């Protein structure tokens, strides 16, 4: 390996780094990819993929146990927890070839499976060798935070990096953190027959629309999940039989006992071994500092994904990768724009969102905000399939521009795509009324909301008088 062999050096083989390396190599830029752990990063190995597979297992068990259709009886599901975990590994193995060393070498990428650290801003040390590149891309991701709580033994705490490897079925899983990760793992484990308690310092899913969160919370409580919100964790004990968490709620101390403890209370960027200071790369505890073009304080060094202070989603990493490739390969001043950022909490029903929430919109636009809200019970497909919990909430500017949308419904993650386009393209709600959608589908609830918005105008006295006057015109 020569010291100046590469155009692009990508550090990190997760979703962000792989996307950049695939793009630059196919554009015939000599690319080296450095990954010290498993290819595919967190998303494939301990995040998106195993969590969705676990949710699928829980959903299968739940719908075997519960029958809401008259005349159809449910039967008790038999759950083999170790076999469920084997199933997760099979799903990962099925997807892994797409992220494998072999595939990227076929794309022309040089893959080095080792640790890397900067020597200076133009060179990096890998496995005892020093290499140089014209461009560097840091995509080393993040890791779960284990909170510092009196009495807590970090070696006895599960995180998303370890819980999917657990083969012994917990009796009672206590989850610290009520964000999307905590909620998803709560419902997945509850449906596999495990008692679950969620502890949250604030309210669960604080970034979502509160009224939709309230509906989802009610659903999850009916399934048997216990929520302690607005609590302070005072201390944790690890007796031989499990864990005891002492919490303060409204001035009173309560003890929550369980067999296992899961930390889902945030993440922190991974760069402690990179020697960023040697390269002059500005950073803080929140991540590597970047501009709108994802350039660090050294303009030939980019950073993206969970290692920067930005939303932590795999689809964000893919989007950011496109920005980086356009900048370094095509020399275009492409910039990130998170205005139409979507996210989904994959509960059942799913909670999906894009754009501004009502609170964010009112903070930005003041009183010049309009809201359309339609409950799922008004949708014929939902009624036919007995999906009674859910709603759509659309946030509009004063000129009927769609600036945000939230959906609580089965497959809300699939439904939100239309509203991502609407927010991204700054469409008016009238554009939705002009759509022809198949009947009966859950997606029609959006058109119902749009039609509802214009009903007061369409059927006003003024419009009625106009229609009456038009009847005097001769026929065409």
- pLDDT for 76 equals 77
The mean per-residue pLDDT over the stretch 55-64 comes to: 90
Written as one string, the DSSP assignment of 278-289 is HHT--EETTEE-
Q: Give all strands (DSSP E) within 324-418, no chain letters.
A: 342-345, 350-355, 369-375, 391-397, 402-409
Q: Please give the helix or strand (H or E) that residue 257 lies within, else none.
A: strand 252-258
**What digits encode the pLDDT tens for the residues 249-259?**
999 999 999 99
**What digits encode the pLDDT tens for the residues 299-348?**
999 999 999 999 999 999 999 999 999 999 999 999 999 999 999 999 99
In this predicted structure, the answer to whether residue 64 has a pLDDT above a threshold of 90 is: no
Q: How far apart are CA 75 and CA 80, in angstroms?
A: 16
Question: What percent of the chain lies above the pLDDT cut of 70?
Answer: 97
Helices (H), 173-311: 180-191, 210-222, 276-279
Q: Please give the helix or strand (H or E) that residue 46 lies within, else none.
A: helix 41-46
Domain ranges of the chain: 6-39+100-144+268-328, 154-265, 342-458
Confidence class of residue 2 from pLDDT cuts 50, 70 and 90? very low
For domain 6-39+100-144+268-328, is the CATH number 3.40.50.1360? Answer: no
In this predicted structure, the answer to whether residue 113 has a pLDDT above a threshold of 60 is: yes
- pLDDT for 63 equals 82
Q: How far apart are CA 412 and CA 393, in angstroms?
A: 12
Q: How many CB atoms lie within 10 A of CB 19?
A: 23
Q: Which CATH number fits domain 154-265: 3.50.50.60, 3.30.450.80, 3.40.50.2000, 3.40.980.10?
A: 3.50.50.60
Q: Please give the helix or strand (H or E) that residue 248 lies within, else none.
A: strand 243-249
The mean per-residue pLDDT over the stretch 182-187 comes to: 98
- pLDDT for 68 equals 66
**What digits encode the pLDDT tens for the residues 400-442?**
999 999 999 999 999 999 999 999 999 999 999 989 999 999 9
In this predicted structure, the answer to whether residue 138 has a pLDDT above a threshold of 70 is: yes
Residues 6+ apart with CB under 8 A from 284: 309
DSSP state of 393: E
| Structure tokens belonging to residue 52 | 């969705």
**Equal fold, 6-39+100-144+268-328 vs 342-458:** no
Q: Please give the helix or strand (H or E) that residue 260 lies within, else none.
A: strand 260-263
| Structure tokens belonging to residue 84 | 């469920």
For domain 342-458, is the CATH number 3.40.50.300? Answer: no
In this predicted structure, the answer to whether residue 146 has a pLDDT above a threshold of 90 is: yes
| Structure tokens belonging to residue 222 | 């009916």
């Amino acid at each position: 390996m020569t010291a100046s062999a590469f155009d692009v050096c990508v550090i990190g083989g997760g979703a962000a780094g792989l996307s950049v390396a695939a793009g630059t190599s196919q554009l015939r830029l000599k690319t080296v990819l450095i990954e010290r752990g498993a290819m595919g990063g967190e998303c494939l190995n301990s995040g998106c993929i195993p969590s969705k597979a676990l949710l699928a297992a829980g959903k299968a068990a739940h719908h075997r146990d519960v029958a809401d259709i008259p005349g159809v009886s449910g039967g008790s599901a038999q759950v083999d927890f170790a076999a469920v975990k084997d199933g997760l590994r099979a799903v990962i193995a099925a997807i892994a070839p797409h992220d494998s060393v072999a595939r990227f070498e076929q794309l022309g990428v040089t893959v080095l499976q080792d640790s890397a650290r900067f020597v200076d801003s133009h060179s990096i040390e890998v496995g005892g060798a020093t290499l140089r590149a014209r461009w560097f891309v840091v995509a080393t991701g993040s890791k779960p935070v284990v909170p510092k709580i009196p009495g807590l033994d970090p070696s006895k705490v599960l995180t998303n990096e370890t819980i999917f490897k657990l083969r012994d079925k917990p009796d009672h899983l206590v989850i610290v953190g009520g964000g999307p990760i905590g909620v998803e793992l709560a419902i997945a484990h509850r449906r596999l027959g495990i008692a679950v308690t969620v502890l949250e310092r604030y309210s669960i899913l604080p970034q979502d629309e509160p009224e939709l969160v309230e509906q989802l919370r009610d659903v999850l409580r009916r399934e048997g999940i216990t929520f302690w919100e607005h609590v302070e964790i005072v201390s944790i004990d690890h007796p031989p039989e499990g864990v005891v968490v002492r919490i303060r709620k409204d001035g009173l101390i309560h003890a929550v006992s369980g067999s296992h403890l899961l930390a889902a209370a945030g993440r922190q960027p991974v760069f402690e071994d990179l020697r960023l200071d040697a390269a002059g790369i500005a950073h803080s505890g929140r991540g590597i500092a970047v501009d709108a073009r994802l350039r660090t304080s050294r303009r030939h060094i980019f950073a993206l994904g969970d290692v920067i202070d930005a939303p932590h989603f795999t689809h964000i990493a893919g989007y950011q990768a496109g920005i980086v490739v356009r900048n370094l390969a095509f020399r275009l001043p492409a910039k990130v724009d998170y205005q139409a950022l979507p996210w989904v909490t994959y509960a059942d029903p799913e909670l999906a969102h894009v754009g501004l929430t009502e609170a964010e919109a009112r903070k930005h636009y003041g009183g010049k905000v309009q809201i359309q809200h339609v409950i799922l019970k008004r949708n014929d497909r939902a009624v036919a399939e007995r999906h009674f919990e859910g709603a759509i909430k659309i946030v509009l500017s004063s000129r009927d521009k769609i600036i945000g949308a939230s959906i609580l419904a089965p497959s809300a993650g699939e439904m939100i795509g239309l509203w991502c386009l609407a927010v991204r393209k700054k469409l008016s709600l009238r554009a939705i009324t002009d759509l022809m959608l198949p009947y009966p589908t859950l997606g029609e609830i959006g058109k119902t909301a749009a039609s509802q918005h214009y009903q007061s105008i369409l059927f006003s006295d003024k419009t009625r008088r106009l229609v009456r006057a038009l009847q005097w015109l001769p026929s065409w």
